Amino acid sequence: MTHLPYILVSYALGIAIPLGFGLAALHRMRAVGRKLAAIDRRTRS
C-alpha cells in the first residue's frame, strides 16, 4: 500500500476524534446522572 503513514494517521484521527468526543459526552451524562440521582428522588426510580 502506497502512502501508508499518511493513510494511517488520517484514519487514526478520524476514529480518535469522534471516539474521544463520544466517550467524553457519555462520561459527562453519567456523572451528572449520578449527582442528580443522589439528590433528586424522581431520577432514582
Partner 1 sequence: MDVQPSLAPPPPPPPPLGGHGLHRFANPGRFLRLSGAVLPWLAGAGILLTALGLGWGLFGVPADYQQGDAVRILYVHVPAAQMALGGYLVLAFVSLASIIWRHPLADLAAAEIGPVGAAFTALCLGTGSIWGKPMWGTWWIWDARLTSVLILFFLYLGHVVLVRAFDDPTRGQRAGAILALIGVVNLPVIKFSVDWWNTLHQPAAITLSGAPAMHLSMLWPLLTASAGYACLFGAIVVARTRAAVLERRLQGLLLVRTEAAR
Residues 32, 34, 36, 42: is their CA dihedral positive or negative?
A: positive
Helix (H, G, I), strand (E, B) or coil at 34: helix
Smaller CB separation from partner 1, 1 or 44:
1
- The minimum distance between CB 42 and partner 1, in angstroms, equals 10
Q: 1 to 45, contacts with partner 1 by CB under 8 A?
A: 1-4, 6-7, 9-11, 13-15, 17-18, 21-22, 25-26, 28-29, 32-33, 35-36, 39-40
- Name the minimum Å distance from CB 44 to partner 1: 13
Cell representation of residue 31: 456523572
CA torsion angle 15 17 18 20 (round to 10): 110
